[in-house]
Amino acid sequence: MTKTIKRVAVIGTGVIGASWAALFLAKGLEVVATDISPNAKKALDDFIAAAWPALERLGLAPHASLSNLRFTDNLEAAVADSDLVQENGPERIDFKQDLYRRLDGLLARDVIIASSSSGLTMSAIQSACPDHAERCVIGHPFNPPHLIPLVEIVGGNKTSEETVHRVTEFYRALGKRTIRLHKEVPGHVANRLQAALYREVVHLISEGVVSVGDADTAVSWGPGLRWGAMGPSLLNHLGGGQGGIEHFFEQFTGPMTAWWHVLGSPELTAEVRARIIKGVHEETQSRSVRDIAAYRDDVLLGLLSLRHAEV
């Protein structure tokens, strides 16, 4: 169980899988990718080519090369001789269980199977593995994985601590910032936090309090800037002045908890969705998705360069 991870099999090469593949290549690993979708290989090659300049800015590992990528539509060939599998298949429990049942029979017992699943629990997924469910774990990235350092690690009820330790060390060696969830919850942590904020955004828009564009401005040019530097509890420690978090709670517990009681529980009706869609298109000012993503990635690269010592 101390096997060095040099070759990674990437199952599923959509947006998340392709991003993982780009990162693994940039870190000097061998990557064998597989996907049965039509034109999957071209889409993967195009994604990695577009992502490579950003990865070069972040710094490539010795021996990092696009030539370390191989593609096949054959699952068995893809996972042969792999040291770790990063699975990015559809979020359907029947699909995942069938896939993991097959992988359990194909892979040596010391090969970790990590899932990028954002919504399914590993306990449910690994229940289909008859032999070595202990090596299955959630390794959930935040999009896009080749830039965002966060990885959420969640074991199922059969996942071994050894697997959690090995996959944590693997991701950290890639420069990732990992968090460990000690309980399985739908959506893990980061997506739940994101969903909680967006629920209130939708509420404020649906109630006519603020426009779509102004809600985005409020987040990205207000607390979002601070969240790019540190998390809310540490920021509240600063908010308490010289008295720190203790003074913050003394001063703001009342007002803060009063706001909790009036937060909204909106419904995403057709009317609300139409209002948000209209507002988003007004906000984009006819910029393409590709252009907006490029702007996002450029800002992320700047932030990452500032935080390089931490990452």
SS3 for the chain is CCCCCCEEEEECCCHHHHHHHHHHHHCCCEEEEECCCCCHHHHHHHHHHHHHHHHHHHCCCCCCCHHHEEEECCHHHHHCCCCEEEECCCCCHHHHHHHHHHHHHHCCCCCEEEECCCCCCHHHHHCCCCCCHHHEEEEEECCCCCCCCEEEEEECCCCCHHHHHHHHHHHHHCCCEEEEECCCCCCCCHHHHHHHHHHHHHHHHHCCCCCHHHHHHHHHCCHHHHHCCCCHHHHHHHHCHHHHHHHHHHHHHHHHHHHHCCCCCCCCCHHHHHHHHHHHHHHHCCCCHHHHHHHHHHHHHHHHHHCCCCC
State the pLDDT at residue 309: 60
What's the token pair of residue 228?
A: 């790019």
First and final CA of the chain: distance in angstroms?
A: 27
| Other beta carbons within 10 Å of 280 | 12
Q: Enter the pTM of the model.
A: 0.92
- Domain annotation for the chain: domains and CATH numbers: 7-181 (3.40.50.720), 190-306 (1.10.1040.10)
State the pLDDT at residue 308: 73
CA atoms within 13 A on the CB side of 139: 30
State the pLDDT at residue 311: 47
Pairing of strands 7-11, 84-87: parallel
Q: pLDDT by residue for the chain (311 residues), tens digit each?
A: 456 899 999 999 999 999 999 999 999 999 999 999 999 999 999 999 999 999 999 999 999 999 999 999 999 999 999 999 999 999 999 999 999 999 999 999 999 999 999 989 999 999 999 999 999 999 999 999 999 999 999 999 999 999 999 999 999 999 999 999 999 999 999 999 999 999 999 999 999 999 999 999 999 999 999 999 999 999 999 999 999 999 999 999 999 999 999 999 999 999 999 999 999 999 999 899 999 999 999 999 999 988 876 64
State the pLDDT at residue 268: 96
Q: 275, 256, 143, 258: which is closest to 202 by C-alpha?
A: 275
State the pLDDT at residue 156: 97
